Structure 1
Amino acid sequence: MNLNIDVKQPEERYSVMTLEGEVDAFTAPKLKEELLPLTEAENALVEVDLGGVNYMDSTGLGTFISALKSTKEHGSRMRLVQMEDRVYRLFKITGLTEIMEIDTSVRGGM
């Protein structure tokens, strides 16, 4: 399956990235290519809507770790929202929920 990426910038330093599909070894490079530049703007907020992501592997997690590092380097923020339960569990068991800003209203009942 492919990954559809839609980016909107409703305000100057605010971007909303909506993902739909699978984030894996095949699609993560495309995601990284579009996500990292958004995190490089100082004082920017990047909101990533993961509601349409039904599968993610370790490569996908690595992409979000790279984006988190970029936010630290550039003084920006990234917030992950609307995660499906199984995707949220990946972030939880790897400890990423402790270091990433994740909206706790997870789809699927958590």
Structure 2
Amino acid sequence: MTSSLIQNDRVTIRHDVINGWSVVEIDGEVDAHTAPLICEVVCKLLHEGHHHLVLDFRLVRFIDSMGLRMVVAITKRIRDSQGSLRMACASSRTLKVFEFTGLDDAFEFYDSPEEATRRRPSADGLASWPRS
């Protein structure tokens, strides 16, 4: 069951659990205004015991440097919780931002949440993050 966690004029954040993964769907902009909200949602989920997450960026129209910093900060928190992180990102525009900054090599990207959640989370999670 998908639940809407945050909704305002810039972003909507929804959450669903699929095959042991907590999928966080972000619809809108990921910037200085919305990054703290997304981080808050992920931290709340971690606190509730959701340690294996998929950030679904398929509906993201814009991401800036604050959004990228938020992704790195979230990843560190997930790693500290012995969790896992995957990204669903089919938009070439959003994926190019990760590629341009070199962060595309540090994360696992999938075309859809269905593809990202096909395999259950592994025991080692983000233990070896960041990858070289």
TM-score range, shorter chain: 0.7 to 0.9
Q: TM-score, normalised by structure 1?
A: 0.82
Aligned residue pairs, count:
103
Residue in structure 2 matching 1:95, options 64, 82, 102 = 102
Larger Rg: 2
Correspondence for 1:68: 75
- Contact 1:49–1:83 (CA under 8 A) maintained in structure 2: no
Cα root mean square deviation, aligned: 2.0
Cα 1:94/1:84, change in 2 over 3 Å: same
Q: Which secondary structure does the structure 2 equivalent of 1:100 belong to?
A: coil
- Deviation at 1:39? 4.4
Residues 25 and 59 in structure 1, CA contact (< 8 A), matched pair in contact too: yes
Cα distance in 2 between the residues matched to 1:10 and 1:76: 15
TM-score by length of 2: 0.69
Unaligned runs of 5+ in 2: 1-8, 113-132
Partner SS state of residue 13, structure 2? strand
The ranges of structure 1 where at least 4 consecutive aligned residues each deviate by more than 2 angstroms after the TM superposition are 36-42
Q: Is the 2:53–2:84 Cα contact (8 Å) retained in structure 1?
A: yes
- Aligned residue number for residue 42 of structure 2: 35
- How far apart are 1:38 and its partner, in Å? 3.1
Alpha-carbon separation, structure 1, partners of 2:14 and 2:85:
16
